[in-house]
Structure 1
Amino acid sequence: MVTQPVVLVTCVYQALLFGCQYLLLASFSRVFHDVYKQPVGIASLHYIAMIIGYTLSGQVGGRIVDKLYRAMQRRNGGVGKPEFKLPLLIVTGILMPAGLLLYGWTVQYRVHWIVPDIGIFLIASGARMTLFVCPLYMADAITMYTASATSSLVITRGAFAFAFPLFAPDMYMALGQGWGNSLLALATFVIGVPSPFLLFFFGERLRLRSSYSVRAMKLMT
């Protein structure tokens, strides 16, 4: 991960979005129980918004990736590139900060619970798309070493998922839901918006700087 630029960029991008998702997962039931005064059983039902986001984005997103890949492959003379699987990440880079802002400020001002749920839906959709696009890209970019590259993705996002919930209570206590989630939205925007463009336009150059990627491509051809 630390010696292969294309793996590093992909790992950091995915791990940040995954960490933010887990930070929120740790706070959902407490937010709806303490802020909206809902019973624990009712407060836990808001995870349904995340289930819907995961399911729809997984079903629709996969089809969009395939359609876009085939279209760009035709325009490129029938030759496919790993970067052709990345355009959907541009959407995730927008969905995550938008969902975080919507969720944070509507909870801060105690807007009807359906509006924070819409924010949760957007967050889940962005996270899910990232979770299946990044491994797809790694599979094409590193080919023969896909298992190792995917392991880097899993380890990095696992570390972020472990670390982020640890500081969630202190962050929300100090900043509140509005500014606390705005801070997360800023982080996901700064990393999440430029990273897909960076990988799409410069991913091939990064792959050529990766000894594993170059060697894998030679072995495959």
Structure 2
Amino acid sequence: MDTLQQESDSKQPTLYSGDSVRNETPDLEKQSTSHSAETQATATELYPVTDLSRGIVGWDGQDDPENPQNFPEGKKWTLLALISAMTLISPLASSMFSPAISYMAREFLVTDRTLLSFSVSIYLLGYTFGPLLLAPLSEVYGRRIVLSGANWFFVVWQIGCALAPNIETLIICRLFAGIGGSGCLTLGAGVIADMFPPAKRGMATSLWAMGPLIGPVAGPIAGGFLGQEVGWRWTFWVLLIAGGAFSLGVEIFNKETYATVLIRWKTKKLAKETGRTDLRSAYDIDQEPTSVSEVLTQSMKRPLLLLIKSPIVYLLCLYMSFLYGLLYLFFTTIPSVFTETYGFSVGLSGLAYLGIGLGFFGGLAIMAFTNDRMVMAATTKNGGKFEPEMRLPAMIIYAFILPISFFWYGWTAEKHVHWIVPIIGMFPFGVGMMGVFMPIQTYIIDCYPKYAASANATLTATRSLVGALLPLAGPAMFEDMGLGWGNSLLGFLALAFIPIPILFIKYGKVIRLKYPIDLDAKKI
């Protein structure tokens, strides 16, 4: 499995040797683990090294400790754990305020249910705009500075939310907090691609992806008790304290991981030390010199380019957005069902989210310990040839599991069955959501490792837009159709989308190879 573990971005430049300069794209389908000589040759091509005689600056050999792929395992997992912790706090903020919304409505004298729902979902609109800016910036200036700036931006706006004198101010502050909070969700994919080979990306993605799914579930549990005991404003003070603590940890321990930026810094340092003006980064050797504004403009276009020109990214965005919308539609009914139908207090109603939460943990555990092993087994069967589509087969099973919850939860709540039954009914949705969400995230990283942040930004922006707007229709839909038929409609829609993962398993490789995108081109 050496080749699989050393695979990196297929668009990265190669080692320069002899009298000619080669810039070939390694074909993952032609890589073999049969001979150590071939493995070493592949590694040589994937990690460009310094050749000062030709003015080329790269790594100091394939084992250069400054290369993030060669960081000690402890350092890699520590960095990822810090980012993952912040990735939990940020989505926590999306729903933590929800159970306490009635207290805010009473204080601000707001009765419009749509406006109240919007004060919660506006946070996800920040997730829509933030990634489209932060991901390209990280590919120009590096992950570390952009992530730190986004984290502190998120923290500062919690103060505005906590001190808001009216609902309009609260909505604006939550929008900006969402923009800052999108940093860890967006850049985590890039950091994983920077540091981890494909053989370990499944486990790494499992740790990082807990936040976007578990955060919205844990939020109402904590927010319900906080709102009831100490007031709705304390939900934001708690987010300020927790977000500030983890942001400080990221600030202290985080390191730059984006290879292109690291070699660019190294090139400038060597040029200053040697007085040479001909030195070029090995990652930029095949590109014409451009100004910072041109590079930034080019980078800003990448997420949109991926969405428009890549059928793979478009269909995955469509499927993930649909499932994310279902998740937040689910959330719109839980507080009212368990307070009005089952007589729970506001605090206790948050505990109803444990059904989905335990499902998430169950699905996460299964995916963390099986996804990488499945890929390695499939690679071995394929003669040592790794293909990103090897991440996807398990999606079909989870896609069938996910809709069960809508029928189970919807009709048991409609018929006032004992409260434990609808809570248990949410469990399959959590398992299914994680089983679909995880392979999609890892698949995107494997397909576009160099621009994983931009690819993930496209996923994050589209699903967050749907997650912010679709739940606004939830109260009216369930009021007209009832819990039983309203949730059944969602279940039938989830069943209708099952062909999408089947399509990717069967035709994903063909589509990926038929519609390549040159994300390095000067004019995109």
Shared fold, TM over 0.5: yes
Q: Tell me the residue number matched to 1:208.
A: 513
Q: Tell me the residue number matched to 1:81.
A: 387
Q: Is the 8 A contact 1:104 1:177 kept in 2?
A: yes
Residue 215 of structure 1: CA displacement? 7.9
CA distance in 1, matches of 2:513, 2:449: 13
Residue 43 of structure 1: CA displacement? 1.8
CA distance in 2, matches of 1:72, 1:16: 29
Residue 214 of structure 1: CA displacement? 9.5
Structure 1 segment 97-108 matched on structure 2, within 5 A: 97-108=403-414
Q: Which digits, 9 at most, give the CA deviation of each residue in 1:186-217, with x for residues without a partner?
A: 111111x111110011001110233227989x
Identity among equivalent positions (%) equals 32
Q: Is the 8 A contact 1:142 1:212 kept in 2?
A: no
Q: Is the 8 A contact 2:389 2:509 kept in 1?
A: yes
Structure 1 segment 29-40 matched on structure 2, within 5 A: 29-40=335-346
Structure 1 segment 32-51 matched on structure 2, within 5 A: 32-51=338-357
Q: Is the 8 A contact 1:10 1:134 kept in 2?
A: yes
Q: Is the 8 A contact 1:11 1:153 kept in 2?
A: yes
Please point out which of 15, 38, 50 is paired with 2:321.
15
Q: Which digits, 9 at most, give the CA deviation of each residue in 1:35-84, with x for residues without a partner?
A: 22222222221112222112221122121212221221121111111111
Instruction: In structure 1, give the amino acid aligned to 2:373.
Output: K
Give ranges in structure 2 of 5+ residues lacking alignment.
1-306
The higher relative CO (CA closer than 8 Å, separation ≥ 6) is in 1
Please point out which of 105, 115, 135 is paired with 2:421.
115
The answer to whether 1:176 aligns with 2:482 is yes
Give ranges in structure 1 of 5+ residues lacking alignment.
217-221
Give the TM-score, by structure 2 length.
0.40
CA distance in 2, matches of 1:194, 1:215: 33
Q: Which has the larger radius of gyration?
A: 2
CA distance in 2, matches of 1:91, 1:215: 37
The answer to whether 1:196 aligns with 2:196 is no
Instruction: In structure 2, give the amino acid aligned to 1:24.
Output: F
More helix by share: 1
CA distance in 2, matches of 1:143, 1:212: 13
CA distance in 2, matches of 1:148, 1:207: 17
Q: Tell me the residue number matched to 1:219.
A: none
**Number of residue pairs matched?**
215
Q: Tell me the residue number matched to 1:3.
A: 309
Give the TM-score, by structure 1 length.
0.91
The answer to whether 1:68 aligns with 2:353 is no
Name whichever of 62-71 and 152-161 sits farther off: 62-71
Q: Is the 8 A contact 2:392 2:439 kept in 1?
A: yes
Q: Tell me the residue number matched to 1:126.
A: 432
> Does the residue aligned with 2:308 lie in a helix, a strand or coil?
coil
